Amino acid sequence: MINKFNSQTSLYALFGNPVGHSLSPVMHNKAFGETGLNSVYLAFRVADIDAAMAAVRSVGIRGASVTIPHKVAVVNSLDEIDDQVRRIGAVNTVINRDGRLWGYNSDGQGAVRALLEKTAVRGADIAIIGAGGAARAVSLALLSEKVGPLAIANRTLKRAEALVDSLAKYAGAGGTEAELHALSWHGPELREAIRNCHLVVNCTTLGMKYASQAGQFPLEADWISAGVLVYDLVYNPPETPLLKMAQKAGARALGGLPMLVYQGAASFSLWTGREAPVDIMFSAARKALSAEC
């Protein structure tokens, strides 16, 4: 179905910097077309997120996605935030309800939905690499799934320690008390944690196409045991350097595309009150990614 725009068309927006390679516009516009909604989704590269939120109010933009580097700063420009945002401290979805802006975060939900399609995580020993917004959202969502010990390693150790401290009060969220550890990036503890865990999640930007960290990976090949699941939140390229390394080591691999689609589907439902056409969103995102390769 083709979207036709007129004075009744609802506008949705993505705000970030950069946004040029985002798959969200193609995914959401396909979803609007498929569900027959008279809506359009456009990407805006913005430096000032407060000014962007003022524009959402003044222009009457119905909803927005917020991405790097504005997910934390945007919280101060909103009128209301939900409990999930209070815990994570970051927003990826905004809804404009009669001029009042509400913030939500669907990253953790999207990440865990994708993960649970691949493996069970109850009691699993998990190593998270990275301590930014995505690591925080994913860790919190995992704690609700009754996971086992959770080790968090980060280039800047202080950020990993701060994340562990702030997660401590949610460690019993799944009904069992998960052990939390902060690990240094270079120490032998990280190597041992990776060797002995069931699941490794890369929540850093290492390996992202178009970033200065393109082609890089956060760990050594001989740390990966056969049978472990390596989950890379990076979705472009679809086969990241880390995922290639994992497959070579006989490990299972999961890329970031399903998370991208599921967090987008959750945003779509928040904005429209409708179930998202997930299959359509998947095929639009895959097609756009393969057109780039």
Q: Is 25 in the site for ligand NAP (CB under 6 A)?
A: no
The answer to whether 206 and 216 have CB atoms below 8 angstroms apart is: yes
Nearer to ligand NAP, 10 or 78 (CB): 78
CB of 60 to ligand NAP, least distance (A): 27
CB of 111 to ligand NAP, least distance (A): 7
Q: Is 65 in the site for ligand NAP (CB under 6 A)?
A: no
Nearer to ligand NAP, 146 or 280 (CB): 280
Kindly indicate which of the ranges 97-105, 127-135, 162-170, 276-284 contains the residues binding ligand NAP, using the contact rule CB under 6 A.
127-135
Nearest-CB residue for ligand NAP: 132
Element holding 168 (H helix, E strand): none
Nearer to ligand NAP, 10 or 282 (CB): 282
Residue 33 CA: distances (Å) to CA of 3, 8, 72, 97, 177: 5, 15, 31, 23, 45
Q: Is 230 in the site for ligand NAP (CB under 6 A)?
A: no
SS3 54: helix
Element holding 187 (H helix, E strand): none
Kindly indicate which of the ranges 44-52, 166-174, 233-241, 276-284 contains the residues binding ligand NAP, using the contact rule CB under 6 A.
233-241
Residue 237, preceding peptide bond in cis (omega within 30° of 0): yes
CA distance 107 to 172: 21
The answer to whether 66 and 94 have CB atoms below 8 angstroms apart is: yes
* Candidate residues 204, 240, 267, 272; the one interacting with ligand NAP per rule CB under 6 A: 204
CA distance 64 to 10: 11
* Candidate residues 19, 26, 31, 131; the one interacting with ligand NAP per rule CB under 6 A: 131
Q: Is 19 in the site for ligand NAP (CB under 6 A)?
A: no
* Candidate residues 108, 132, 241, 277; the one interacting with ligand NAP per rule CB under 6 A: 132
209 annotated active-site = no
| Alpha helices in the chain, H assignment, sequence order | 24-35, 49-59, 83-88, 107-116, 133-143, 157-167, 188-196, 241-248, 257-272, 278-292
Catalytic pick from 30, 71, 118, 146?
A: 71
- Chain-centroid distance, C-alpha 42: 19
Q: Is 163 in the site for ligand NAP (CB under 6 A)?
A: no
CB of 179 to ligand NAP, least distance (A): 21
Nearest CA to 265 among 23, 27, 91? 27
- Supply the residues annotated as catalytic: 71
Which residues would be at the binding site for ligand NAP (CB under 6 A)? 68, 107, 110, 130-135, 154-156, 159, 203-206, 208, 213, 233-235, 256, 259-260, 263
